[in-house]
Structure 1
Amino acid sequence: MTITVSVRNVTKRYGGKVDALRELTFDLHEGETVALVGHNGAGKTTLIKLLLGLIRPTSGDVQVLGEDPASGNFGVRKVLGYLPESVSFHLALTGRETLAFYARLKRVDMQSADRLFERVGLTASAADRPIRTYSKGMRQRLGLAQALLGAPRVLLLDEPTSGLDPALRRNFYTLVNELRAGGATVLLSSHALGELEDRAGRVIIVHRGLRIADGTLDDLRRIASLPSRIRVRPLAGEHPVSFACHGKQWLPTGEGSYEMEVAHCERLPMLHRLSDPDVGIDSLTVIEPTLDDLYAHFLNSQEAAT
């Protein structure tokens, strides 16, 4: 896979005292959607500023599309898209005037820019209204439109669904999938962990400037070895005591279902046992540790190690 972003042993120190990032190393690849996860102050915003070339690392090396983003190379800037957490536009301008301004900065044809309004869910009438009349969600959509100018190869999105209703959030992630399928690298920084579970192919967790976990959800679940929950609904007349395992008890969850917590290493043997047609199960569901669970686990492990 083609590497689009390379971060090597990057440390960023402010005021000679505070290390916002410490020896951070990772690569991002073409056609990859990556979730960047961490508490406020973990270093996410500093990392995005480094990738945009707004600041330089104290030590280490940052490369975007093979170039130093702080070098001022317009070719790199043109194919970078960025949506900040809090978008801010001139309130007297219309949405169309605002997008035209950014299109000129990026040297993008305005005709292609106009098509972005429909793509992000802004109507033609809304595009010609002053931004002061926009709701928060509409401003967020306009911010996304400016981030998409010029068909960026690397897209940096900071809390991109803030202010969007559920339908527009689904539309947003459909758009992200289209960009990824077209070869773009998408970095999503978000606190909405539940949204990211099925939408990011990879998760990078940062804490106090350190990368403490990096991989797919399956990778992180395997590393964390957190227990899974197995939920079953017995056939009529059956009781889960009949398929208890290793002395563990099934706990009722209501509506005739029962759950058991199973260690990661015991999950497959348990599922094999329960799949026997003679066991008497009507339905079976495996509930894996969520991204919230994994995030808490890796943070707690890091804290315990320091």
Structure 2
Amino acid sequence: MKRKSLKVPAEITFIAVFAFLINLWTENDSQTLYDRYFAFIFKWKLPIIIVALLFSSVYIYFREQIREYKEDLADNARMLLQAYDELKDFKWRARLLHAMKRFTRNEPYVLAVQLYEYTVKRERRKVVFKINHLDGYVWENIDLNAMVQAYYEVDTRLFQQFEQAVRAFEVDRFDPLLDFIQQYQPEIEGKDGIDDRTAIRYAFVQLALDLLETKINFDLFIDPETRRKINTRKRTGILRGIMMKDRFYTFLHDGNSDKQGRVYLTKTIRIKGGNYVFLLTLSPDILAEENHSEHFEKLSHAFAQEMHQAEQITYNNGESD
């Protein structure tokens, strides 16, 4: 441990030096010099000490006042910067919400828009996804239960297997994805109880199935009842959308409520240097459109453009303020 040095106040040092010089002078100079210039001083020892202490006290007081004033200035500057940052964030979010409203009103199949911020952390033996709801807009008379926050813990081995299989898929090598499905699908459908671990494995198997469907025909699928139970336990559609990275991803609502058949479209997006994923809730009628996949892609690009435009407007306004 570093030893702290003991600091002597400057005023005490000054008084000590002054007393030493006077003492030295009186012992070594001539009597005449002493009588003419210094004798009268020592007739008033007490008043001089009092005056010295008074000046010392005043000096200490004002020095402390200046120090406190500087600290107050620094605190006020920090508070001002914090308030400015909060104001910029408020204006940015207001712009995003306005863009969401405009997009929902202008697109006939869009029922709601949700924007989420997410982080991905590779911890020991697991990859953790944290998803927070940022903002959203819902059309009138539409029932929607937005997810506020969610955590997903993915086994590192499963995560790496999936990533390797996807890289192979991107160069038209499909066997790794098929092997991945055949390895984990029996574990999902063979379990009596559904837990979070099963839900996560289902998410990755379903994502692998969805990817393969875009390239080849096969007869592998998750039992609908198992899928319904898993979705009741833990919703993983947004997680799957994040794993698709630059691709848009769609999935349907499973269940018997009035939400049945709704289409959800997700895509990741970079805003202000952060990681975000949007979720568009679409009317089931969009599936009746010819080439609805192309329609999905157009919607995802259009919404991403709306978000970037809102970000750019906020940035320019911030520059001019």
Structure number, greater radius of gyration: 2
Which structure has more relative contact order (CA 8 Å, sep 6+)? It is 1
Larger helix share, 1 or 2: 2
Q: Do the two structures share a fold, i.e. TM-score over 0.5?
A: no
Q: TM-score, normalised by structure 2?
A: 0.30
Larger strand share, 1 or 2: 1
Q: TM-score, normalised by structure 1?
A: 0.31
